[in-house]
Chain A
Amino acid sequence: MQDQAPRQRGRFSESKKDHPMAGFILKRLLQAVFVVLAVTLIVSFAIRLSGDPAIMLMGGGNVTEQDLQNIRQALGLERPFFVQYLDFLEGMITGDFGKSFMGGTPVSMLIANALPATLLLAFTSLIVSIVLSVPLGVYAAVNRGRWPDQMIRILSLVGLSFPNFWLAIMMVLLFSIVLGLLPPSGMEGPESFVMPALTMAIILTATNVRLVRTSMLETLSQQYIMVARSKGLRDRVVLYKHALRNSAIPLVTYIGLQFGGLIGGIVIIERVFNWPGMGTLAFDAISNRDYPVLQGTITVLALFIVLINLLVDIAYGLIDPRIRTE
């Protein structure tokens, strides 16, 4: 055993030299595991501080202490916190998050239903936001200081001034009730994506436009942009090939960071649009003190946030060869 260890390490560093990315990804994966564990621990602990599901389950009616005791026992809540937590971890490894306190549906099934809905919504809105913010941001940067720039900047601030639920309700009023074009809620056809995705996208776009603009301004002042122009390239090529790719790094970083916030915002958007996603699931789970569902959803969400950030790091490499090859 003892004389094996160094050899193994040697082999490892050998392979590391061949794939510098591998070590990096491994390190990030370890960090990811740590983060997800910490998140689940915090959430599991905090939710237990905030109320007893037994009373929630009894609906606050005609209950005796004995009834509560029975329920706690049936749910395994009388055990010490760490035993419950370890139990949860053990299940998690096999993908079994337990059963909902509310009705005993397996949490994994609830998540399997909700996750695609949320991811679909999150990615649609991200993509819509990118499609909106990149040309606007570039346009503002190119016209820096002139009125299109000022308009775009002021409009983006207006976009930041309304809470998402309010924006959502206004959209419903306009598109569903006044115009009768779109379904007010639910996830059915593609048309039901329009409003939720647009609402989130507007809010994301408001910040992204400014980001694109600033990083474009930075890039546009670089020498290589002048070089590209001196080659006779079209403006479009200069802006969208040479400049944008360089500006993409802060944008991609920010989008990675945004993802966590996006999930937070999704709780409210899902509620207004009655979107059967993870936000709804988690919110209801908190209201009901449905520990398994909350732990399950938060774990999966955290996993996704961490994963997205990992992807962002890898995307760096794709965008910027300086990171890839060093």
Chain B
Amino acid sequence: MAAAQAVSSARRHFRSLELVLGLLLTVGMGLAVLFSGILFPDGGESMDLMARLTPPFQSLAHPLGTDPLGRDVLARVIVGGQISLTVGVLSVVGAVIVGTIVGLVAGYYRGIAEVLLMRFADIQLALPFILLAIMFLAILGTGIDKIIFFMVVAQWVQYARLVRGSVLALRDREFILSARAIGVGNGRIIFTHILPNVLGPIVILMTLNVANNILLESSLTFLGLGVDPLIPSWGGMLADGRTYLQTAWWVSVFPGLAIMFTVLGLNLLGDWLRDLLDPTGQTSR
């Protein structure tokens, strides 16, 4: 009966528009980005100044047109996914790891760790993020590694707060208490009982933040703090294309669509993953 239930629920999930759409978008985007080296061996760098700003859908050589330097927009969108996804994913993974550990410790052991975390979070909340980014990058210099590092520094607090909140709520739940009553030690309680139960909200925040961070890279480029413009990235293309919106819309619209599809795909998958992580299927979606 349990198996039947699982199958029927899986089927229900599969039937859902979201999962199909999410999978299609994420997997498609992921594969394209992964194999961009094979698809576009030039890395979207070949320039043809004479063929600049070719409109899309007119030639097979440049199905999505070319940019102001005559580079192929399609190639750059696909190749650009590497940087964007690297920035988005690595920064989030870093922040999740740091934030989760701190949040677990602060929420479970309370005490000084918690006080420090909370004050730290207050301070970071009160610092306007973009301004901090500008200062931070002005001091450290720009670069993908620094942008990722900065995002980790700026965002781990979000996870720490979230995890701490969930841990506080879980701490006094009866199943934690009963694990303790059995004689389960703190470390084991944290990692086998608390962590799996806070994963759901973390996944949701993560998928939202991947999107957020891809866009942040774009905003930094807008402010002149982005990464090497030779390395295509969605954010950079979007920001650089803004001067051409009236004369060559395709330069920024296609990277914009790429971001949109990825964000959509990731979030739909994230929602689904959260349900999957929750065998009870109780959490409201």
Q: Is the CB of B263 within 8 A of A218?
A: no
Docked complex Cα distance between A243 and B74 (Å): 48
Q: Is the CB of B284 within 8 A of A38?
A: no
Q: Is the CB of B211 within 8 A of A161?
A: yes
Given contacts A34-B119, A286-B135, whether A260 and B127 have CB atoms under 8 Å apart is: yes
Given contacts A157-B263, A163-B219, A173-B245, whether A42 and B128 have CB atoms under 8 Å apart is: no
Chain A residues near B168 (CB-CB < 8 A) = none
Residues of chain A at interface, number, CB under 8 A: 54
Min Cβ gap A258→B in Å is 10
Q: Is the CB of B130 within 8 A of A264?
A: yes
B264 within 8 Å of A (CB atoms): yes
Q: Is the CB of B245 within 8 A of A282?
A: no
Q: Is the CB of B131 within 8 A of A35?
A: no
Q: Which of B36-44, B102-110, B234-242 contacts A (4 or more CB under 8 A)?
A: B234-242
Contact with A along B230-266 (1 / 0, CB 8 A): 0000010011001001100000100010011011100
Chain B residues near A36 (CB-CB < 8 A) = 126
A208 within 8 Å of B (CB atoms): no
Which A-chain residue is minimally distant from B18 (CB atoms)?
A150
User: Is chain A's interface secondary structure helix, strand, loop, or mixed overall?
Assistant: helix
Given contacts A34-B119, A35-B122, A43-B135, whether A163 and B238 have CB atoms under 8 Å apart is: yes
Chain A residues near B126 (CB-CB < 8 A) = 35-36, 39, 260, 301-302, 305-306
Cross-chain contact of B267 among A46, A157, A217 (Cβ < 8 A): A157
Which B-chain residue is minimally distant from A47 (CB atoms)?
B135
Min Cβ gap A317→B in Å is 19
Q: Is the CB of A165 within 8 A of B267?
A: no
B175 within 8 Å of A (CB atoms): no
Docked complex Cα distance between A310 and B212 (Å): 27
Docked complex Cα distance between A236 and B26 (Å): 39
Which B-chain residue is minimally distant from A215 (CB atoms)?
B284
Chain A residues near B223 (CB-CB < 8 A) = 268, 283
Interface size class of B (residues with CB under 8 A): 35 or more
A309 within 8 Å of B (CB atoms): yes
B54 within 8 Å of A (CB atoms): no
Docked complex Cα distance between A268 and B221 (Å): 12
Q: Is the CB of B134 within 8 A of A286?
A: yes
Chain B residues near A170 (CB-CB < 8 A) = 245
Q: Is the CB of B128 within 8 A of A301?
A: yes
Given contacts A207-B208, A264-B129, whether A51 and B138 have CB atoms under 8 Å apart is: yes
Which B-chain residue is minimally distant from A306 (CB atoms)?
B126
B182 within 8 Å of A (CB atoms): no
Cross-chain contact of A267 among B128, B218, B239, B246 (Cβ < 8 A): B128
A92 within 8 Å of B (CB atoms): no
Which A-chain residue is minimally distant from B135 (CB atoms)?
A46
Chain B residues near A49 (CB-CB < 8 A) = 139
Min Cβ gap B227→A in Å is 15
A314 within 8 Å of B (CB atoms): no
A186 within 8 Å of B (CB atoms): no
Min Cβ gap A263→B in Å is 4
A81 within 8 Å of B (CB atoms): no
Q: Is the CB of B242 within 8 A of A169?
A: yes
Chain B residues near A157 (CB-CB < 8 A) = 263-264, 267-268
Which B-chain residue is minimally distant from A31 (CB atoms)?
B122
Which A-chain residue is minimally distant from B260 (CB atoms)?
A161
Docked complex Cα distance between A268 and B138 (Å): 17
Q: Is the CB of A164 within 8 A of B219?
A: yes
Cross-chain contact of B218 among A163, A207, A265 (Cβ < 8 A): A163
Min Cβ gap A133→B in Å is 15
Q: Is the CB of B219 within 8 A of A160?
A: no
Min Cβ gap A255→B in Å is 13
Q: Is the CB of A286 within 8 A of B211?
A: no
B64 within 8 Å of A (CB atoms): no
Pairs across A and B, CB under 8 Å, 20 listed: A35-B119, A46-B135, A46-B139, A50-B135, A50-B138, A157-B268, A161-B215, A161-B260, A163-B219, A165-B218, A173-B246, A260-B129, A264-B129, A267-B131, A268-B130, A268-B223, A279-B128, A282-B128, A298-B127, A305-B125
Which 4 interchain pairs have the tightest Cβ spacing?
A161-B260, A217-B284, A264-B129, A302-B126
Q: Which B residues contact A (CB, under 8 angstroms)?
A: 17-18, 119, 122-123, 125-131, 134-136, 138-139, 208, 211-212, 215, 218-219, 222-223, 235, 238-239, 242, 245-246, 252, 256, 259-260, 262-264, 267-268, 284-285
Q: Which A residues contact B (CB, under 8 angstroms)?
A: 31, 34-36, 38-39, 42-43, 46-47, 49-51, 144, 150, 153-154, 157-158, 160-166, 169-170, 173, 177, 207, 214, 217-218, 221, 257, 260-261, 263-268, 279, 282-283, 286, 298, 301-302, 305-306, 309
